Structures are given as structure tokens and as C-alpha cells.
Structure 1
């Protein structure tokens, strides 16, 4: 594989793991990126190992399986006031969803 394809695979894998911000095995990353980007499993595994060696991703070994996830130090910490604000927004939106669902049920039963 050429160096440009390796670099492209590495950047796609890094962006994917940072965007998702959750742990994945190499098989999971391959399965999720294969259709969209056409990456082979070997390219994904190489990219994950390279990124882990460079410190851009973290790697944990569970038996024979390796799990990869984004380095949490790169993300800014969220303050308590921001968390409370987000919680209040979530509760407001949940209330709106419930009222819309209730009105949909009423309209549905009217039909």
C-alpha cells in the first residue's frame, strides 16, 4: 500500500475515533469504515497500531483483543455549570417530546 493511502487511512481512522469518542476494536472500526471509505482490515489495523504508538489513540488489551479509543486529554473539561445547563436543556426537550408524542397519539386516534 502506498504512503498516501496509509496516511489517508490513518487520518480517517483518527477522525472516526475522535468523532465517536468511544472504544472500538479493530474489527468494529473496520466494519464501520469499510463500506463508506473502502478501507481494508490490514490498513485499519496498521493505522490503529500506528496511532497508538504515536500517542494519538489509547490502546487496552483484553486477553487477545485490543480496544482503541480517543485520548481523553485532547478534549476540554466541561464545567459543572455547563453540565447543569445541558441537563436543563435535556429536561425541557424531553418535556416537549412528550407533549408532541401525546398530541400525535390524539391525532392518530382521531383518524
Structure 2
């Protein structure tokens, strides 16, 4: 093992914990390895070992799906969101979706005008 890879392997649990918390979605060990290997130079064995270590420490959760293990951040660490906050976010999504549709329609209208002008040019 190279010196850089050895150093990355010692910091792997911290890297993986941060990654799983930021992404907040389930991943297999292979997915985590593939997503972080290029950036951090972690070997697959180091990733698997670190994920199992974090699961044993209770910092992440582990679930079996057939023969494959899935790892994800412990949801208890995140604060609860109130119904009012969710409704506010839903209203914001509706507003922004309408704005996007309006802008897309405006773009289509401008593109049609541009194409019409381009067809007139000899």
C-alpha cells in the first residue's frame, strides 16, 4: 500500500461518516468506494472496514438486502422538521416550479423568434 493510500485509510471513517451525513441516502460499500476512490484514494478494503467500524460504533446504520449491505446515516442525528416548515418548503417548490415553467416558455418563444429570423436571412 502506498503512503498516500495508507494515510487515506486511517482517515477513512471520518471521510465516510461525513460523506454519508452530507448525502443522507443509502449506499452500498461498492457505491461509496466508487464515489470516493478517485477523490480520496481509498481502497475498497479500507472502505468496507471503515463502514463496518462506523456501523459497530453506532455512527451509521447498516441494513442487509440479500447478500448486500447498505449503509446510511443515522436519522436520529438530524433534527425533526415541523409540518409548517414542510408546507412552507412545498409552497416554495410550487412557486419556483411555476417560475421555471414560465422561463422555459419564454425561452421557447425567443428561440422560435430567433429561428424565424434566421430563416429570413439569405
Fold agreement, TM-score > 0.5 = yes
SS in 2 for 1:61: strand
Which segments of structure 1 move beyond 2 Å, counting only runs of 4 or more? 1-7
Match of 1:77 in 2: 80
Do residues 67 (structure 1) and 58 (structure 2) align?
no
Q: Residue 57 of structure 1: which of 55, 60, 64 is its match?
A: 60
TM-score by length of 1: 0.94
Q: Residue 11 of structure 1: which of 5, 10, 14 is its match?
A: 14
Structure 1 portions without partners, runs of 5+? none
Name the count of aligned residue pairs.
111
Q: Residue 110 of structure 1: which of 80, 94, 113 is its match?
A: 113
Match of 1:38 in 2: 41
1:31-54 per-position Cα deviation (integer Å, ceiling 9, x unaligned): 011111111101100110000000
Q: What is the aligned-residue RMSD (CA, Å)?
A: 1.5
